[in-house]
Amino acid sequence: MLWSDEGRLATLSAAMMAMADALSLSGTEAVEAALLAPGLNFAPALAGLDDRQAHQALLEQIRTVAPGALDAAGWARLEDPRLYDTAMMLLAQDSLGLMLDALGEASEQLLTLTEVHQQTATGLRLAQHLSAAVQGQAVLMATRAALPCQMPREPACASGLAEALALQVPDLPWAGDPWPLTDIATALSGLCPLIAAYQGDAARRLADAAAALVVAAAQSQSQGNGGRAFGLDVEDALCRAFEDAMAALVALNRALDRWQGPQVDEALQPEAWQMVDAMLSRARAVMEESGAGE
């Protein structure tokens, strides 16, 4: 599971190794080999996730396997607590990818339903929902593509760190302006009207979770976290938001799979029918471009 302790530690480890590469540390290969060693004890690092001591515990275990991999200065350069924020963005990147798959499935179902009813008032309503789904996909894709790493303690390695992790290079540290978190919250809350049309309770839970993420980010910003990583409250809020988003999309797809109406068989006027037809054409083009159904 993405947000399990093991998943969180795996992304932190990936961020740490990317940092070592970006810093051009001469012992990076030895550190990586130690990290992959069968006997490495991950228990102390797993226990340290919630108080943001996991990176130090992990480095301590690596040192027991490969004590001469780095000099004292090299080990210290990998103790950057902002790696937790970068790891959090890796989890967000994977979570948004799963959401895009689920929303793509919903778009395909809405496309089929709209095609069946396209000449009636029901088709017009379905076309509006299809439009919302396609727009939601675009917003999620843009949000995912814009995710940055956190500015490391040594800004000169930011570019290398971002490139290694397929993230964007930050312009500034985002502790004072946690826009990656608020952008995610905005993207998730934007799905709520579509989901509410089929699963009202799921939409309300998602809206609450997105709002809670904004509050957590704002509270962390107001406390001025400086060079520290965001706290566990922010990570928990982000995890909950993604969990509720995926649950809502699963519920949406289930509802669409057995959708029966309400149906309004009133024929559309030519102008309205043309709008529905245009929406269908746009949706097909978007799905073809995104590779839906492959």
Question: What is the rounded distance in angstroms from the CA atom of residue 285 to the CA atom of residue 282?
Answer: 5
Specify the 3-state DSSP secondary structure of 267.
Answer: strand
pLDDT at res. 266: 81
Nearest CA to 177 out of 130, 231, 220, 234 is that of 220
C-beta atoms surrounding 60 within 10 Å: 15
- Supply the pTM of this predicted model: 0.93
pLDDT at res. 263: 66
Span 83-290: which CATH code?
A: 1.20.200.10
Name the residue with higher pLDDT: 222 or 64: 64
Q: Residues 81-122: pLDDT tens digits?
A: 999 999 999 999 999 999 999 999 999 999 999 999 988 889
**Helices 83-116 and 232-257: crossing angle, nearest 10°?**
10
Phi, psi of 153 (to 5 degrees): -60, -30
Domain ranges of the chain: 24-77, 83-290
Question: What is the rounded distance in angstroms from the CA atom of residue 35 to the CA atom of residue 16?
Answer: 10
Residue with tokens 């690092």: 45
C-beta atoms surrounding 171 within 10 Å: 10
Residue with tokens 């839970």: 205
- Using an 8 Å Cβ cutoff, are 213 and 185 in contact? yes
125: amino acid identity, one letter: R
Nearest CA to 213 out of 230, 243, 236 is that of 236
